[in-house]
Structure 1
């Protein structure tokens, strides 16, 4: 059985906003999103994300438009640990299970759901196929997720650290330094931050 959600974040990391349309199955996730940002330069982005069983990334397609023109990325995981970007092998990220689209809170969901880290104690280290925005370079990123208590996870990558709040479904609510989820206030169509 699958559920659908629409989530909007104010993205402080890009001084922009992002909306994701998500379909969550028992152990799969499909999403598509749109974002605009002004840091490090004005850009708009659209993406589609598809996972296989256990929330392992199958494919991430991204299009970015900025003053430098339009760039696209078709990032694929073959299910055996190997990745390609626009058909070219990316051996530096081989072995990773997840993509991590820069400035995109949705891509924190897959490893959290796979291991239930938003609900139960544990610490996991991951290799991610990290995609920088807006240039769409694919780079290896070592990341550690540590359960701090119900719905809170400490995220560490290099010298960056943030204690992220998640909801019951494993989606980011508050990511200090990156994003805060927005919600409808009082049914009047206004958006406000989740408290």
Structure 2
């Protein structure tokens, strides 16, 4: 049966709702709402293979007077990235004193060659992908797992190759490091994030 998850943002006014279908692989579609750095709505569709590695991610984000989209697909020959843009996100950012955004997508997809997972800015769901793929949710303390992810920044939808480190700290706890940022994630028995300090808390929907 599909499963519905809801997170409240703790870093800004906002929320995320995702519907998951955990069959042979893992599929999810969801919506983010947030007001930082400007108000936006972000919708995504995610598919992974039976090995837990991401096969596709489509993201659309929109605000007042602008919208952007990006689609990532991973095949035997690497990643393909397609983008779309309408309106002027940079003008909307300048109007509230924010710096301009980068262009959507990525210029050199070879930088994503080692990436098996994707990450989406502001989302608590996407950290669950490597946690599940690496079997860290119920594991005892383990060594570090250093991985490359295709990280989609929001709201720009710029795609960058990000290095992340995941470490099992015991049942329900996973250490997470990205550049100089370090935190401890609380996850359920399926590896889905319950609590991401400073970002989001998951509601208990019963």
Same fold (TM over 0.5): yes
TM-score, normalized by length of structure 1?
0.87
Which residue is 2:158 aligned to?
Answer: 137
Structure 1 runs (4+) deviating above 6 angstroms are: none
Report the secondary structure of 1:55's partner residue: coil
Which residue is 2:122 aligned to?
Answer: 103
Report the secondary structure of 1:53's partner residue: coil
Which residue is 2:57 aligned to?
Answer: 60
Does structure 1 residue 38 correspond to structure 2 residue 57? no
Which residue is 1:84 aligned to?
Answer: 80
Among candidates 96, 106, 112, match of residue 93 of structure 1: 112
Would you say the 8 A contact 2:146–2:166 is kept in 1? yes
Would you say the 8 A contact 2:5–2:205 is kept in 1? no
The structure in which a higher percent of residues are strand is 1
Unaligned residue ranges in structure 1 (runs of 5+): 186-195
Distance 1:13 1:93 in 2: 28
Report the secondary structure of 1:183's partner residue: coil
Distance 1:72 1:157 in 2: 25
Distance 2:80 2:199 in 1: 27
Distance 2:157 2:10 in 1: 19
Report the secondary structure of 1:119's partner residue: coil
> How many Å apart are 1:54 and its aligned residue?
1.0
Among candidates 120, 124, 135, match of residue 145 of structure 2: 124
Distance 2:65 2:183 in 1: 31
CA RMSD of aligned residues (A): 1.7
Summarize the Cα distance change of 1:183–1:113 in structure 2 as closer, same or farther, 3 Å threshold.
Answer: same
> How many Å apart are 1:149 and its aligned residue?
1.4
Would you say the 8 A contact 1:14–1:40 is kept in 2? no
Would you say the 8 A contact 1:164–1:175 is kept in 2? yes
Instruction: Describe the superposition over 1:63-120 as per-residue Cα deviations: whole angstroms up to 9, x where unpaired.
Output: 000235010011111145x112107751211110011111111111221111211111
